[in-house]
Amino acid sequence: MLKLMVFQPSDAAQESDLSLMERIQERDENALRLLMERKAEKLHAFCTRYLNDREWAKDVVQEVFLRVWEQAARFDPTYSVNTWIYRIATNLSIDHIRHEKSSHGTHERFFHLVAKVQETPAVPLNHLQKGEVERILRELSRFLSPKQKAVFILHEVDELTTPEISQVLKCRQTTVRNHLFHARRILGEKLREFYPEYVHA
């Protein structure tokens, strides 16, 4: 069974994602392993930001590659492999959020991004207790819809472009821009409303 793990560099590092997908469609398990080598770490980071929990993220990433294997025949080569995999990861993460009423853990970079969006400096995190940072993150991110949170992380953290995100989420680029605008607005408003001491007026 597939396991999320640290992989050693492979001799096939130069093989394209599309070539690996073609081999996966032919039921080549080694190609799946190579794709996991290439994508698992970044996917895990994305899912951790989204779910606020590294262990949940591991479960989701494992499920992503199970879906890649099971649904390989559905892959449309007019899209990039990266876009297709992000779409699977995003949908699974949204499903997970809908079934879990609470989230755990923290992600300090996400907290800094909230302050960056407002173009105001945050209080240094070394002045805060870990539990306080976790509480602030949960309090802020819960005001976002699943799609707003996905767009914000994909754009601000993973640095995907608007066209790429529109492919990942299967929506128009104008919808992506709207989600991003409202995510930034909501996060900024809630940061100022609940934690004005961390934002300079």
pLDDT tens across the length of the chain (201 residues): 444 444 444 445 678 999 999 999 999 999 999 999 999 999 999 998 888 888 889 989 989 999 999 899 999 988 899 999 999 999 998 888 776 643 333 344 455 555 554 444 444 444 555 566 556 666 787 899 989 989 988 887 788 899 999 999 989 999 999 998 888 888 878 878 887 776 654
Helix residue ranges, H only, the chain: 17-25, 29-51, 54-70, 81-99, 108-117, 130-141, 146-156, 162-169, 173-194
Domains and CATH numbers, the chain: 16-103 (1.10.1740.10), 106-201 (1.10.10.10)
What are the φ/ψ torsions at residue 153 (nearest 5 degrees)? Answer: -70, -45
